[in-house]
Structure 1
């Protein structure tokens, strides 16, 4: 297999399912020009806290959701445990300061210190699917990120028996 090299363009400050700043390195700050006109962006980040050879070998995600009657493969989940721990989050752009290299967002599920690999503007003509098709086990989930904020996720997630939790704690 071919190997690729990626280099962070910045780091998360704050975050962990709350407000965050993406602090962009000086060498990449010019790349922020024009982003302030967008309301949302897609942040691509490296799930460095689970970057471990054993976790990268996982392909079975178990049954992380209560309505499942079968195991899921890792590519059917948004788990950070994957062959390459790449993660992405569509974020609201609360403020963009290109000169200071700061992007502020009210929500980012990446932890403080997480390497940011890239930012892309969210554009509905490319990123929005009007009628997405999802399996029955997750069809009751909210239809948008905005509605997800008020959704009670606890009944949808399996109790502490998920494969991810087992592997991380061992």
Structure 2
């Protein structure tokens, strides 16, 4: 099996304090924010550094992670941050962008304070939205829209069994 390694550098980090969320872009990458204003949402790729260890990178099967799901689910059928490469993805609403300071204020971000950000892409409906997407029956009752996910009872969907 080919285990080619790649060098990924962070472009900034997540700020998360008292319900305020932001991304601080390092000075060398701030010009990359040019023309990002006007997009209401961004896709943020970040490194789940707090759980990045050899054991977690080997995990490929989860026993019953979802209460209504199958008894076993493969890592690539989950959004778990525990995976061979702990890259996580968040769609985030942009509140403001300060080019000079490199600060992107967000409505919410599901990453810890200090989490490394490895890339940002604008959310673009023409490439991100799919008209006829389907999901397995066990998760077909989950919210269909990002905006509805905040009020959904996710706790009742997760079993956290080992």
User: Counterpart of 1:93 in 2: which secondary structure?
Assistant: strand
* TM-score between the two structures when normalised by the length of structure 2: 0.95
Q: CA offset at residue 36 of structure 1?
A: 1.0
User: Cα RMSD (Å) of the superposition?
Assistant: 1.4
Matched residue, 1:74: 75
1: CA distance, partners of 2:70 / 2:42: 35
The separation in 2 between residues aligned to 1:151 and 1:31, in whole angstroms, is 35
Indicate the residue corresponding to 1:143 in structure 2. 144
What secondary structure does 1:94 align onto? strand
**1:85-104 deviation line (CA, Å, top 9, x unaligned):** 00010000110111110001
Give the secondary structure class of the aligned counterpart of 1:118: strand
Distance 1:71 1:139, change over 3 A: same
Greater shift, 64-73 or 139-148, is seen at 64-73
**1:150: Cα distance to partner?**
1.2
Structure 2 residues without counterparts, runs of 5 or longer:
none
Cα 1:5/1:105, change in 2 over 3 Å: same
The alignment status of 1:111 with 2:112, answered yes or no, reads yes
Any idea what SS the aligned residue of 1:108 has?
Answer: coil
Specify the SS of the correspondent of 1:37: coil
Is 1:15–1:108's contact at 8 Å kept on the other side of the alignment?
Answer: no
C-alpha offsets along residues 17-48 of structure 1, whole Å, 9 cap, x if unaligned?
Answer: x5311000000000001111100000000000
Does 1:35 find its partner at 2:33? no
Is the partner of 2:37 in helix, strand or coil?
helix
Instruction: Provide the residue aligned with 1:21 in structure 2.
Output: 22
CA deviations over 1:103-153 (Å, ceiling 9, x no partner): 010110010010000100000000111221100110000001101111111
Q: Does 1:49 align with 2:50?
A: yes
CA separation in 2, counterparts of 1:69 and 1:15?
Answer: 36
Check whether the contact 1:15–1:111 (CA below 8 A) recurs between aligned residues: no
Once the two structures are TM-superposed, the CA of residue 70 in structure 1 deviates from its matched residue by 2.3
More helix by share: 1
Q: How many residues align?
A: 160
